[in-house]
Structure 1
Amino acid sequence: MKKSELKSFLEFKAEQYNTPEFIATDPVQIPHQFSRKEDIEIAGFLTATIAWGNRKSILNNANKLMDLLERSPYDFVMNHSEGDLEKMANFVHRTFNGLDLQYFIKALQNIYLKHSGIEHIFTKYAEEESLQPAIHQFKQIFFELPHLFRTEKHVSDPLKNSAAKRINMYLRWMVRNDNSGVDFGLWKDIKPSQLSCPLDVHSGNVARKLNLLKRKANDAKALRELDKALRIMDPEDPVKYDFALFGLGVFEKY
Structure 2
Amino acid sequence: MSQLTALRIHPVKSFRALTLDSCLVEPWGLAGDRRWMLIDAQSEALTQRQDPRLALFEARIEDDGTLLVGHPDADAPLRVPTPVPGPDALGPVSVFGHGFSAPVADTPEIADWFRKLLDRELRLVHLDVPARRPRPATTSLADQYPLLLTTSSSLDALNELIARDHPDLAASAGPVPMERFRPNLVVDEPTPWAETGWRRIRIGEVEFEVVQQCGRCVMTTVDQESGVFTGQQPLRTLRKRRRFEQEATFGMHLVPLAPSGALRLGDPVTVLDAGPLPQPA
Using the size of structure 2 for normalisation, the TM-score is 0.32
Q: Which has the higher strand share?
A: 2
Query: Which structure has the higher relative contact order (CA within 8 Å, separation 6+)?
Result: 2
Using the size of structure 1 for normalisation, the TM-score is 0.34
